[in-house]
Structure 1
Amino acid sequence: MGPVVVFTLLTYVCMKSLRSPHVGVIGYYGFALLQPEWNWRWSLPPGFQYQKFIAASTLIGFLVVGFQGNQFVGIVARSSLAIGGFLALAFISAASSIEPDATAFYMDNLWKIVLMAVLGIRLIDSPGKVLALMWVLVLAQGYNAYQINLEYFEDGHSSYAYRNFGDKGDNNVYSILTVPLIACSLSLALYAERGWQKAVAATIALLQVHEIMLFESRGCMLGCLPMLAVFVWLMPKTRRTVTVLAAMLIMGAILAGPPVVEEFASAFAEEGERDSSAEGRFGLWQAGFEITKDYPVLGVGPYAGQYLVPAYFPGGLDQHAKGLHNLFFEISTGCGLPALVCYLAFFAYPAIACYGTAQATNADRWHRCASLAVVPGLVGYWTSSMFSSGALSESSYACAVVGVCATAIGGRMLEEARAEYDGT
């Protein structure tokens, strides 16, 4: 059934995107998060590059329909230029990389992610498309969260705390991918139109939270705290919403057993009591700061900063390379500080724009739903990324796309309503 379902869906997405290119954007993110090459790896061709087929058909469709979509003004223009500037600076830095092979791997993935983000910003141009993207993100990753939880309840342990789930990275990186989507699930659980939709979204949110517990990612456990705090701050405070969230928090607390509590508490251990992983983070951050200070403009090549860490690490390391375990230093050491500013601006624009909308009682329901997903989701992503890096994980870019498009669509609808009112 794997090849039948996957290739049927892939064919539909590619063909449909030639006339409705937004389908390609939504399908791209769905495939990227579902990871069929992992879930059905025994029945699919190894190394099959389905993303390239979707990206190509989406780009062709965008050209065929005559560049239709959100106008290239305001937040659409600012966000596109920010992420485009980041990619351009990364390519310039790549030309003089100290580790060309590592940089080539990084750039081969990065340009596709940025391309689809920019296409998404232009093509997701209606409330229905925004909500469709959110649901695809939640359902695609929710299937994986279900599989991860299923293994735990069947076997009594989670092997993915010590080995990769799919090709998105280790337990920390995959947890970072999940964090923004928890906010999407929670927002849909509050704002979905039908009761069964709320139940599905709430169930997936619980599975996602428990997944992070099973993965024993302390950085993402910490990242979930400010995400949840911001979510509670921005969400509508009605008896129903408070009851739903309280019930989910109680269930999450029940799922967190003693090993999870012990692992999380170790993040707050005093100096001298921390384990080697926690203690080493401070040395890595110091190394990242020193490398950035020595190579501030263009860095040493995308994904290449890790090869200088052993020489900059306090006391040195007897290794050829060591990951920085920090998104911000990974980008600053690899691509330079200007690239880091562009990268952060891409996420800051929708986060700032959506902050007010999430609390606006006069905003449309779909707009508040999108905004409530974006702001906490990006806060959780930034916090979690202090302890690892998810620059090649699509979920954060998709979350920003939702925020940019919701802001652009909401502004356009407001202008149209004002024009209609003035005309009458």
Structure 2
Amino acid sequence: MNKYLLMILLTSGGGVGGFVRGPYIPLAMYYFYAVLRPQYLWKWELMMYPDPPFGGWSFYMAGAALITYLPWVFGIVGPINDPERRVFPGFIWAHRLMLMFFTWVTVSYLNAMNQDVAWVSYQEMIKIALMYMLATQVVRAFWQVWGLYMIFTLAIGYIAVDINHLYVTTGYLLLVRAGFAGLDNNGAALLLSLGVPMAYFAWELTRGWHRWLLLPIIPAIIHAVVSSYSRGAMLSVIITLPLYFLYTRKRKSLAVMLLVGLAMLPFMAGQEIRNRFMTVEHAEEDETLNLRFMSWRAAYLIATDYPVFGIGPRNSNLVSKHYGTDMEGRTIHNNYLQIAADNGWVGMGLFVLLLIFVVLSMWRARRRLWKHKDPESVRAVAMLGGLECTLWTFIIGSWLLSLETFEPAYIVMLLGAQIWAISNAQVTPAPGYRAGQAQWANVGPRPGGAPPPPPRPRPERTEETWVPPSRLDDTPRP
């Protein structure tokens, strides 16, 4: 199909879906575009046609989600009996810290040495934070988290397959020669590496024969990452492998897959790739790594001189040579030190706290759900495994990259935190319910399809007795 026509159909469908069903559909399409980046992936096919007016394709999806949110809340848009209207996820610390981090970036922008340079990075942060906060209010059920999880996974899988197809048919190494979506080969490889844990745990949480269609995504991603010559992305995948065994319910299957993958790896990596990877053992002989050490030292010195608000978003590149790097405009190549230089030690501290509280939110949700065997809980636990392994892949890989506006990482943070937020949701009564009955009726399915317990007396909710609020029962009771 003509890719331009496909983009028109997808964008139109997302916009219409927002006015028919509510803001979740355009929000999901926005995040699909944020990961897939079709304007880069299909660049040569789309460049023959005019660009969409007033902004990119994702602009229309973001606008549709924002425009339809309040009408959906007040019952003007979407089905009036939509059960998600009555669920209000908690505004947890992971959400608060995201808001605090964005606020600090805003203050840093206002105090930037050069606001024109800072604006390019800051406007990306505005978009990321705005859609993140909207998603915390729109995503109110586990099935919605699952939908975004699968969209993320399939988008990365498609990118990997497309890159491999280009290599097989033409011999062109896209990531090495041109990068992807404004990222160099290392950033693009890290983006792809996020799909490995997502694809594995998607296979685990999916039921039916079609789950086996998800496994081929993993070797496609691994081959694309290996052929990118990115050591950081390869290391981030390898280091996080023990977490897979910690969180999976199918350890034997995972062990078999890992053995098969190790057997295939020598055929994927040629001699040049192996030689480049082994230079990690000889850091003093690797000029690239030595240049990164110089950049890290420069970032530390900049952050020391501007400890509170930093020098301004991406303003550190303007002065990096003055602080000891080899050239003008040298990027820091460390996400945490980049944030420290640009937004001060306070900004870096808020970002690290955001990561910590997202991980803590996932741990608490897993602790609550792990012992439950109902399908919703099993699926949520599998998603948590994939999301946490993916987040750790980013945390490790970003030690060698500057990715403070890397939206896929914020999507992973959102989904991981949102599972815990939904677990602590407040549910308002449906028509025909007494308040106590409504609260019990909305806590979700129970093993064996047993009916909810009577509303009085209502016992204290504990980690052992809690069941997730997933599918709401709207049948009125006397």
Task: Give TM-score, length-normalised by structure 2.
Answer: 0.80
Structure 2 gaps of 5+ residues are 75-84, 428-439, 457-478
> Relative to structure 1, is the Cα distance of residues 330 and 238 closer, same or farther in structure 2, using a 3 angstrom cutoff?
closer
Q: Residues 132 and 414 of structure 2 are in contact (CA less than 8 Å); yes or no, is this contact kept in structure 1?
A: yes
User: Is 2:309 aligned against 1:309?
Assistant: no
**Alignment correspondent of 1:8:** 9
Q: Give the superposition deviation at 1:383.
A: 0.7
Q: Give the superposition deviation at 1:209.
A: 1.8
**Alignment correspondent of 2:357:** 349
Q: How does 1:10-409 map to 2 (within 5 A)?
A: 10-18=11-19, 19-38=21-40, 39=42, 40-46=45-51, 48-66=55-73, 68=85, 71=88, 73=90, 76-165=91-180, 167-197=181-211, 199-271=212-284, 273-274=285-286, 276-313=287-324, 317=326, 319-355=327-363, 360-362=370-372, 364-409=377-422
Q: Residues 134 and 402 of structure 1 are in contact (CA less than 8 Å); yes or no, is this contact kept in structure 2?
A: yes
Q: Give the superposition deviation at 1:69.
A: 7.5
Q: Radius of gyration: which is bigger?
A: 2
Normalized per residue, which structure has more helix?
A: 1
CA distance in 2, matches of 1:194, 1:168: 37
Q: Partner amino acid for 2:305? A: D
Q: Residues 364 and 420 of structure 2 are in contact (CA less than 8 Å); yes or no, is this contact kept in structure 1?
A: no
Q: Residues 219 and 387 of structure 1 are in contact (CA less than 8 Å); yes or no, is this contact kept in structure 2?
A: yes
CA distance in 2, matches of 1:70, 1:53: 27
CA distance in 1, matches of 2:87, 2:262: 38
Q: Which has the higher contact order (CA 8 A, sep 6+)?
A: 1
User: Is 2:455 aligned against 1:423?
Assistant: yes
> Relative to structure 1, is the Cα distance of residues 420 and 196 closer, same or farther in structure 2, using a 3 angstrom cutoff?
closer
> Relative to structure 1, is the Cα distance of residues 186 and 291 closer, same or farther in structure 2, using a 3 angstrom cutoff?
same
RMSD of Structure 2 on Structure 1 (CA): 2.5
**Residue-by-residue CA offset, 1:347-405 (whole Å, 9 max, x unaligned):** 32232222365582436121112101111111110110010122222211111111112
Q: Give the superposition deviation at 1:245.
A: 4.1
Give aligned-pair identity as a percent: 20
**Residue-by-residue CA offset, 1:256-277 (whole Å, 9 max, x unaligned):** 3332222211122142x22x21
SS of aligned partner of 2:240: helix
Q: Give the superposition deviation at 1:157.
A: 4.7
Size of the alignment, in residue pairs? 415
**Alignment correspondent of 2:437:** none
Structure 1 gaps of 5+ residues are none
